[in-house]
């Protein structure tokens, strides 16, 4: 693994990391190396798990969230027009 330090265009110090397999990554130098190592181990463990595992976790998290329920409004009886079937001949003719 190769590491190179340089200053980016926005005046931040950046570390360029090239792995043995040829993957290039850019990391801000203010991040401590211990945090990067822990993050790398966690990411590697996540990539070893099947995709179904992460999808199941997303479904569980979505299920646990509470959504506000719609308050029901009290309505009167429907008018005579709503009693009629929408298709075919009407059962009742109102005049």
Residue 80 is predicted with a pLDDT of 57
Domain edges within the chain:
1-51
| Side-by-side strand order, sheet with 2-7 | 2-7, 13-18, 24-28
- pLDDT, tens digit, 9 for 90 and up, residues 31-84: 887 888 898 899 888 888 888 888 888 888 877 666 667 776 666 665 555 555
Residue 66 is predicted with a pLDDT of 65
Buried b (16+ CB within 10 A) or exposed e, 59-78: eeeeeeeeeeeeeeeeeeee
Q: Taking the complete model, does pTM exceed 0.75, yes or no?
A: no
- Please list, in sequence order, all residues whose beta carbon lies within 8 angstroms of the beta carbon of residue 15, skipping any fewer than 6 positions away: 3, 4, 5, 26, 27, 28, 29
Three-state DSSP class for residue 2: strand
How sure is the predictor about 7, in pLDDT bands with cuts at 50, 70 and 90? very high
């Amino acid at each position: 693994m190769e590491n190179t330090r340089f200053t980016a265009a926005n005046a931040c110090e950046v570390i360029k990391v090239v792995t043995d397999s040829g993957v290039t990554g850019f990391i801000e130098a203010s991040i401590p190396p211990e945090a990067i190592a822990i993050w790398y181990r966690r990411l590697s463990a996540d990539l070893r798990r099947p995709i179904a595992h992460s999808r199941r976790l997303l479904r569980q998290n979505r299920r646990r969230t509470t959504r506000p329920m719609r308050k029901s409004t009290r309505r009167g009886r429907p008018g005579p027009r709503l009693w009629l079937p929408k298709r075919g001949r009407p059962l009742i003719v109102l005049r």
